[in-house]
Chain A
């Protein structure tokens, strides 16, 4: 496996060629899916129409479709997918277990409940982000407290997290039944996740968040690649394990909070992105760039599937990410149990 060496005064990396090829291929796939989402569909739109809409010279219908419907929807889906992909890859790598992704261990459910509570309490969606962040953070803290005495053992974290996630889901359901019908329509988004009727405020939320958090994740990848070694080895190499673990979890909570606030939990995006990226690139985890792009792809494709249904059957995109993710989770569970029994 030959590798490309990039080396200058500021920066040096050894990049296996396969990783490079996988990154380029995923990027090309993203461009393809994005442009098919922008130009395809029932209302035909050409490249010229998009330029015209952005410069304010298109007719009103075209302008509506491009700037008020398709662009915000695609950009939200892409951003949310990237956020889930990054969060999943980081937590799975940290805990050395593919089951330990933020949506499986309850972070997403906590963020969703936080969002629902703020909407129910304030009657507006203005404070959804803080609600989602708080919900995710409280869930993470609770999980840390429950597993602290076992040194945050990954197996324990996964078990506790799954239980916690189910409990939080029940609480969310209970809250929904107590709300009046007007609010419920808007709140459904935070139970399964949906990308329909996204606005530019959702786009702004997720992309400004990514602009701040993603560079920190890329910087943190160096430490993360080493905390995933056995503890004794990592500490021997001079790594502060506790700090690296906390930074990873905080970054994941913020990413999940942002994504949930913008589009709801979208089950299993965080869970499938990392393993697919790892399988493609063939290098030890974390592989943040491919995982982010796979997250974006899965979300965009799930949303395409949701839109492809006949008009009378409107289902949120979260249903489709769950349809992709649930079989994968079952497979991982069977695989892990088998290995442990042997």
Chain B
């Protein structure tokens, strides 16, 4: 079985030592894959390669079997959407303006607000719970609301694949959980393929179907959360002695650093 999105022998470097070394991965269709690892392990770089923001030196990221760098950029934007780690939005921009920008790959200079655009934008706003805030300035929103507005923009792109780069970084605990629950719900509703970079391994264990752990630009281990999150693996990935227990509510693995 071959998946829509994969990498083959993917190698990237910024001049010096390679940041990713021969990474070959299949991202399961309609599954949520979390990429975890210590700082500078190459996890954000991997996501940026999938979003064709960085070109590999060797190997390729493949979308439907073809190197993503050689695909037409408009076609890729209708298949795959990226939520960057942080996005400073232009002054004067309102929620609805931002979400409307998500329609870009389906628009052209003449048709900038088709009936389909309007339906999709309204639905995306509804799904993230911002329908009532559509006309508010982004600058006036809370961090959690801004993050949801960005997610709505990515949803309005109507892609089958979502790439999320640490969507919880700037959020407090409540919004972290809220955002990840939202992603999970949307993924189920729309059968999306999600690739998400996460710092927190416990959140990864809870909200992903599969986990890929990187260290020094190479894959350390991958599999279901229960296979990856073990005391031995945590020690290999992070150099951190830990105990792994079953979560009291859901039974999923939970890391207790020692």
Q: Check B112 against A13 for contact (C-beta < 8 Å).
A: yes
Q: Check A229 against B76 for contact (C-beta < 8 Å).
A: no
Among A221, A222, A282, which residue has its beta carbon within 8 angstroms of that of B92? A282
Query: Is A42 an interface residue when CB atoms closer than 8 A count as contact?
Result: no
Q: Check A284 against B93 for contact (C-beta < 8 Å).
A: yes
Residue of A nearest to B93 (CB): A284
Query: Is A150 an interface residue when CB atoms closer than 8 A count as contact?
Result: no
Interface of A (DSSP majority class): mixed
Query: Is A309 an interface residue when CB atoms closer than 8 A count as contact?
Result: no
Q: Check A12 against B114 for contact (C-beta < 8 Å).
A: yes
Q: Complex Cα distance A228/B89, Å?
A: 9
Q: Check B94 against A1 for contact (C-beta < 8 Å).
A: yes
B75-108 contact mask (Cβ, 8 Å, vs A): 1 or 0: 0111001101001111111100100111011011
Q: Complex Cα distance A7/B119, Å?
A: 14
Q: Check A1 against B135 for contact (C-beta < 8 Å).
A: yes
Query: Is A31 an interface residue when CB atoms closer than 8 A count as contact?
Result: no
Cβ contacts under 8 Å, A237 to chain B: 77, 101-102, 104-105, 157
B49-88 contact mask (Cβ, 8 Å, vs A): 1 or 0: 0011100000000000000000001101110011010011
Query: Is B142 an interface residue when CB atoms closer than 8 A count as contact?
Result: no
Shortest CB-to-CB span from A189 to chain B, Å, is 36
Q: Check B73 against A222 for contact (C-beta < 8 Å).
A: no
A210-225 contact mask (Cβ, 8 Å, vs B): 1 or 0: 0000000001111101
Residue of B nearest to A1 (CB): B135
Residue of A nearest to B48 (CB): A232
Q: Complex Cα distance A6/B135, Å?
A: 18
Shortest CB-to-CB span from A275 to chain B, Å, is 10
Among A223, A226, A232, which residue has its beta carbon within 8 angstroms of that of B53? A232
Interface size on A, residues (CB 8 A): 33
Query: Is A245 an interface residue when CB atoms closer than 8 A count as contact?
Result: no
With A5-B113, A7-B114, A222-B109 in contact, do A235 and B52 touch (Cβ < 8 Å)?
A: yes
Q: Check B105 against A232 for contact (C-beta < 8 Å).
A: no
Cβ contacts under 8 Å, A220 to chain B: 109
> When A and B form their complex, what is the total count of cross-chain residue pairs whose Cβ atoms lie within 8 Å?
95
Q: Complex Cα distance A282/B154, Å?
A: 24
Q: Check B105 against A222 for contact (C-beta < 8 Å).
A: no
Q: Complex Cα distance A236/B151, Å?
A: 13
Interface size class on chain B is 35 or more
Shortest CB-to-CB span from A77 to chain B, Å, is 29
Query: Is A304 an interface residue when CB atoms closer than 8 A count as contact?
Result: no
Of residues 141 to 162 in B, which have CB atoms within 8 Å of A's CB atoms? Answer: 153-154, 157
Q: Check B87 against A230 for contact (C-beta < 8 Å).
A: yes
Q: Check A11 against B110 for contact (C-beta < 8 Å).
A: yes
Query: Is A171 an interface residue when CB atoms closer than 8 A count as contact?
Result: no
Shortest CB-to-CB span from A226 to chain B, Å, is 6
Q: Check B104 against A230 for contact (C-beta < 8 Å).
A: no
Query: Is A163 an interface residue when CB atoms closer than 8 A count as contact?
Result: no
Q: Check B104 against A284 for contact (C-beta < 8 Å).
A: no
Cβ contacts under 8 Å, B82 to chain A: 232-233, 236
Q: Check A233 against B87 for contact (C-beta < 8 Å).
A: yes
Query: Is A73 an interface residue when CB atoms closer than 8 A count as contact?
Result: no
Query: Is B111 an interface residue when CB atoms closer than 8 A count as contact?
Result: yes
Q: Check A238 against B74 for contact (C-beta < 8 Å).
A: yes
Query: Is A340 an interface residue when CB atoms closer than 8 A count as contact?
Result: no
Query: Is B115 an interface residue when CB atoms closer than 8 A count as contact?
Result: yes
Cβ contacts under 8 Å, A1 to chain B: 94, 135
Among B51, B109, B153, which residue has its beta carbon within 8 angstroms of that of A219? B109
Q: Check A233 against B109 for contact (C-beta < 8 Å).
A: no
Cβ contacts under 8 Å, B53 to chain A: 232, 235-236
Cβ contacts under 8 Å, B117 to chain A: 12
Q: Check A222 against B84 for contact (C-beta < 8 Å).
A: no
Q: Check B118 against A5 for contact (C-beta < 8 Å).
A: yes
Q: Check B100 against A239 for contact (C-beta < 8 Å).
A: no
Residue of B nearest to A286 (CB): B90
Shortest CB-to-CB span from B20 to chain A, Å, is 18
Query: Is A10 an interface residue when CB atoms closer than 8 A count as contact?
Result: yes
Cβ contacts under 8 Å, B110 to chain A: 10-12
Q: Check B109 against A236 for contact (C-beta < 8 Å).
A: no
Cβ contacts under 8 Å, B89 to chain A: 229-230
With A7-B114, A11-B110 in contact, do A278 and B104 touch (Cβ < 8 Å)?
A: no
Residue of B nearest to A219 (CB): B109
A10-45 contact mask (Cβ, 8 Å, vs B): 1 or 0: 111110000000000000000000000000000000
Besides A5-B118, A220-B109, A235-B53, 13 other A-B contacts (C-beta < 8 A)? A7-B114, A222-B112, A229-B89, A230-B87, A230-B89, A232-B82, A232-B87, A236-B53, A237-B77, A237-B104, A238-B105, A284-B94, A285-B90
B positions within 8 Å CB-CB of A:
48, 51-53, 73-74, 76-78, 81-82, 84, 87-94, 97, 100-102, 104-105, 107-115, 117-118, 135, 153-154, 157
What are 25 inter-chain pairs, A to B, with CB distance below 8 A? A1-B135, A5-B113, A5-B118, A7-B113, A12-B114, A12-B117, A14-B112, A14-B118, A222-B109, A223-B109, A226-B104, A228-B90, A229-B87, A232-B48, A232-B53, A232-B87, A233-B84, A235-B52, A236-B51, A236-B81, A237-B101, A237-B104, A238-B77, A284-B92, A284-B97
